[in-house]
Chains A and B, each alone.
Chain A
Amino acid sequence: MIISLRTLTYDELKEKLSREDKIVLWSCDTCIRFSGLGGISKLQILEDLLVNDGYPVIRKELLGVSCVDELVEDRKFDDVKKEIFDQATAIVVLGCEESWERVHLAFPDKKVIQVTRSFGFGNISEERGVFLTNPFQDTDFDAVPGGIPVDQVAKQSKTFHTFFDADLEQPLQPSHLVEITVDGKTILAKEGANLLEECQGNGFPIPHLCHMPSLFPTGACRMCLVKIQGRRGLAASCCTLVQKGMQVTTEDDEIKEDRRITLELLLSSQEHNCLTCVKEGECQLRTLIRDHSITAPRLGRKFQPVPLDESSDAIVKDPNRCILCGRCVRACDEIAGKHNLSFAHRGNRVMVVTGMDQPWAESDCATCMACVYACPTGALYEKMLYFDGAEWKPRKLFGQYYCNRSHLINAIKDTLK
C-alpha cells in the first residue's frame, strides 16, 4: 500500500479555498483510509469543518480505488455525478499523490487541491501499525528492514499522520444541533442528519443490514424500523432525517417482534450455513440473529440453490447467501461508479447480477472490491486460493478475509492515535 501523510494544515487548506468556491471533497477508500487520512468518516469531518467555517461543500465523493484511471474518468461522464462535477470549482483530494494527479488530469479546469505527500510503499500491521518499507527515490528516507513507522516519517518530514481535526485547539462543535428524545432520553442531534446514524452516535444502536454511511439510504432491509411519535406505523430510521423535537422509540416489544420476523424470513429465503461461510464472526446477519435469540429457522425454507460465480480472478459471488440488501449494487453505482451490479428477475427469483446477467469475469468490473466490502453477509467475498498436488489444483482458502477486516481497522486506528 502507498504511505501518504498530510502536508497541509487546516488553515493552509482554507487559504487555498475561497468561500465562493463550490467544493467537492474527494477520497479514496483504500490506502489513504488505512493511513488514517481518508474514507467516509474523514470526508464527514472535513465537511463539518469547512461548512462550519462558511465554505460550501456540494458533494462528498468516495472512490473504491482512486488510482485506477477508468474509475476517476468515469466520474466525468456519470449521469448522476456529471452535473455536480460540472458545477464544482474546487476538488480537495484525500488520496495519495497518484490519486491527486489523476483527478488533476481528469478535471483540468478545476482547482484540484493536494493535501498529502506520498513517501513510498509500506506494510500495515494489526500490532505495529503502518510502516514505510520502500520509499520513493525522491524522498530522504532509506529502505530499512522492518520499515519506518509513519509517526517517525511524519516527524522527519515535517508532515502530519493525523487528520485536520487534530489541528484544532478545541474539538469541533457541530452546528445546527437540535434536541430530540430517544427512548425517553433527550439528546442533541444534527438537524437534517440521518436518524439512524445520530442515534448510533449517541449510544442508541439500531439494528440494520442495508445501511452504510458511505451509501445512499434505501430502507430495504426493514431492520432499522423505529416508532416516531405522531407518525403512523413504523419508520425506517436510515431514511428518516432528524427534526427538532422528534420523539423516537428504538426498541419495544412490537419493534423487536417485527425485527425477529424479518430475520426469520431472511433465514428461510436463503442458505445461511455459517459453518461453510467465509464471513465467520463478521457476518452482520449472524450477529443480529444471535442478538434476537433465534436458534433455528421457524419458517419452512423454499429455496433453490444457485451455482456460485467464481469466474472472476478476485471476487466470488455466492447468491445463496444474498439477502438482497442492495449494498453491493449501490457501492458499485456510488463508490465504484461502474453501475455493473443490478437486481434481475422478479419475485422470489430476484438476485444480484453482474452486467447483463453474465459471468463476473465477462462483465465490466474493475475489481475495486467496493461491493465486497459492502456485503454484510458471505454473498460476496475476495478470492483466496491454495494450490497443491501434481496438477496444481486450486482450493478455497478459509481464514482471515479482508472483507472481515473491521477489527483490523479499529486496531490500526488505535495504533495511529
Chain B
Amino acid sequence: MNRTRAVKYEAIAGQLDKEKDIITMVSCNTCVRLAKTGGAAKMKELALQLRKDGFQVKDGFVITLPCWDYSLDNVTLHPTINTVVVMGCSCACANIAVHRPGVKIVPTVVDRGTVVEDLATHKKSFRGTKR
C-alpha cells in the first residue's frame, strides 16, 4: 500500500490560478482514503475551501483506483476543464497525465512509500520512492 502525506493547502493553492484554471477534482478511494489524505470527505473539505478562496472548482470524482486506466474512464472532463487537482498518489497523477494529456495536474499528496510496523515493538520500517 502506498502511504502518502498531504501537501499543505497554501502549496496547493499556490499552484492554481483563480482566473485561468477551471478545476475538476479526482480522489482515489483506496490507499489515499486509508491514509486519510483523500476520499469523499477530504475532497469536499478541499473543494469548498478552494471555492471559498475564489478558485473555480467545477466538480469532483471519487473513484476506486485511479492508477488503473479503466477507473479513469469514469472521469469525464467537462470541455472547459483545464486543471485536475488529484487527491491520489504519483501513480494516479501519472495515469491522468497519460490519459488526459494537456490538462494541468496538481497533486495534493506526496508519496511516502511503504511502511511496515512491528506490532510487538512498534518499530516502523520505511521504504521511500524516488518521486
The one of B39, B67, B111, B128 that contacts A313, using a Cβ cutoff of 8 Å: B39
Nearest residue in A to B63 (C-beta to C-beta)? Answer: A384
Q: Is the CB of A102 within 8 A of B116?
A: yes
Q: Is the CB of B90 within 8 A of A402?
A: no
Bound-state CA distance A392–B43 (Å) is 10
Q: Is the CB of A134 within 8 A of B63?
A: no
Residues of chain A from 219 to 273 with CB closer than 8 A to chain B in the complex: none
Count A interface residues, CB 8 Å. 54
Q: Is the CB of A136 within 8 A of B113?
A: yes
Q: Is the CB of A415 closer than 8 A to any CB of chain B?
A: no
Which residues from chain B contact A105 at a C-beta distance below 8 Å? Answer: 116, 118-120
Q: Is the CB of B94 within 8 A of A313?
A: no
Q: Nearest Cβ distance between residue A356 and chain B, in whole angstroms? A: 24
Q: Is the CB of B1 within 8 A of A68?
A: yes
Q: Is the CB of A54 closer than 8 A to any CB of chain B?
A: no
Which residues from chain A contact B127 at a C-beta distance below 8 Å? Answer: 97-98, 118, 136-138
Q: A126-B69, A133-B94, A400-B73 are in contact. Are A120 and B129 (CB under 8 A)?
A: yes
The one of B59, B90, B97 that contacts A388, using a Cβ cutoff of 8 Å: B59
- Taken residue by residue from 58 to 76, chain A's Cβ proximity to chain B (1 for < 8 Å, 0 otherwise) reads as 0000000101110001000
Bound-state CA distance A382–B73 (Å) is 15
Q: Is the CB of B68 within 8 A of A125?
A: yes
Q: Nearest Cβ distance between residue A136 and chain B, in whole angstroms? A: 6
Q: A134-B130, A392-B60 are in contact. Are A314 and B33 (CB under 8 A)?
A: yes
Q: Nearest Cβ distance between residue B118 and chain A, in whole angstroms? A: 5
Nearest residue in B to A120 (C-beta to C-beta)? Answer: B129
Number of A-B contacts (CB under 8 A): 155
Q: Is the CB of A122 within 8 A of B91?
A: yes
Q: Is the CB of B29 closer than 8 A to any CB of chain A?
A: yes
The one of A120, A397, A405 that contacts B74, using a Cβ cutoff of 8 Å: A397
Bound-state CA distance A118–B91 (Å) is 15
Residues of chain B from 92 to 131 with CB closer than 8 A to chain A in the complex: 94-95, 97-98, 111, 113-114, 116-120, 125, 127-131
- Taken residue by residue from 146 to 175, chain A's Cβ proximity to chain B (1 for < 8 Å, 0 otherwise) reads as 110000000000000000000000000000
Q: Is the CB of B56 closer than 8 A to any CB of chain A?
A: no
Residues of chain A from 384 to 400 with CB closer than 8 A to chain B in the complex: 384-388, 392, 394, 397, 399-400
Interface residues of A (CB under 8 A from B): 1-2, 65, 67-69, 73, 96-98, 101-102, 105, 118, 120-128, 133-138, 141-143, 145-147, 313-314, 367, 382-388, 392, 394, 397, 399-402, 405, 408
13 pairs of residues in contact across A and B, judged by CB atoms under 8 Å? A1-B65, A65-B1, A121-B111, A124-B68, A133-B90, A134-B90, A136-B113, A137-B113, A313-B40, A400-B70, A400-B71, A402-B64, A402-B70
